[in-house]
Amino acid sequence: MRILLIGNFSPPYEEESLHNITFLRKLEEDGHDCTVINIAERPATQKNFIDGKNYFIFLFTLLRACWKKDVLHFFTKGYLRMGLLMLLTSILIGTLYRIRTFITIHSELFSIAGQMRSSLGGRQTLFTAFAVTNKLICADKDTFDVAATYMKKNNFELIPSFIYLPEDLIKSKVTLHEKLLTKEKVIVFSNMQYPSFAFEILNKFLTDYPLPADTAIVVALTEKPSSKLRQLLERQGQSFKDNLLIIESDDLNSVLTACSRAHILLHPLSCDGTTFFESFAVSVKKTLRSDDYLYFPNGLLFIKEGDTSEMCACIINTLLCVDSGHLPEVKD
């Protein structure tokens, strides 16, 4: 099939963009002909991806890219107004071209912001997109329940979010892969920025809250240049240096390798590649590995109120010791 994929395909790489990129990889492995439009603010690193830099460029690109396609699939967290406008435009144009249209709503922000959409514009945008699309895919039960408040249709499906882990990409970073194989537990901080609430939690681990010797921490840095933050982490984590691994957030293979061994994944809230509330909010996901796929069956959202870094570190340490549980039913 000829498939048009629209969403966040750019660094910094974390759950949303990793799902989109590795889903593309899986489709191509299965023999599908795919075209990608990246709607994130940062440009994609892959040369064959098309960047929709603003709405008018996106619209022009969309009209051309839809030609002779069989499927249009739009990925979003459903938070940004511009992203929702692009979503509605994509679904309507796809319908005009008589293309089968799909929407995937990733976890986190929609289950919160989706309940607070303005009755003047926001709700109508979602209602129209949901009514017209052939299938709406929700990555978790909370998102499914919020989407169902707009309308309840038999084309709504609950399909847990995942990251596809191709063997060749994971093992391409030989040194990192071998180091992580020797660890029983791995905590990954992706899209790390300074200052941020995520950094406060990380700093607590490195200075005042010792982890077991068989636990590694992988930090994916976003800031450019990253030398100052790297030096700060190395100085703070001298007693933990054998278990502290630092990578770059725009190194796709390194981030995938780290995620393939992750038991806990932390990152700031984001939508379409834009970070939000990094000074007081952190998403924490418990992972579940099944064959070549990484799932996120359980998660928490930390909201900072006062000095809570030690409390969060304690919760994360507890999460390391409990089972991930089971994936939810695919359909409601």
Which CATH number fits the domain that encloses residue 300?
Answer: 3.40.50
pLDDT tens profile 147-161: 887 776 788 999 988
194 and 135 inside one domain: no
Nearest to 181, CA basis, from 190, 171, 195, 191: 171
Query: Which pLDDT score is estimated for 114?
Result: 64
Residues 138 and 199 in one domain: no
CA 85 to chain centre: 20
Q: What digits encode the pLDDT tens for the residues 158-177?
A: 998 899 998 888 888 888 98
Q: How many domains does the chain have?
A: 2
User: Looking at the structure, do residues 29 and 141 belong to the same domain, yes or no?
Assistant: yes
pLDDT value, residue 332: 40
The range of the structural domain enclosing residue 186 comes to 167-321
> Is pLDDT of 249 > 90?
yes
Length of the chain equals 332
What phi and psi values does residue 218 have, to the nearest 5 degrees? -110, 130
Scanning the structure block, which residue is given the tokens 């922000």? 109
Higher-pLDDT residue of 15, 112 = 15
To the nearest 10°, report the CA torsion of 167, 169, 174, 175: -120
CATH of the domain at 66: 3.40.50.11930
Q: How large is the average pLDDT for residues 164-191?
A: 90
Res 71: pLDDT: 98
For the chain, what percent of residues have pLDDT higher than 90? 60
> Using CA of residue 305, residue 311, residue 313, residue 318, what is the dihedral sign?
negative
On whether residue 326 sits in a domain, the answer given is: no
Q: Pick the range with the lowest mean pLDDT from 26-35, 66-75, 305-314.
A: 305-314
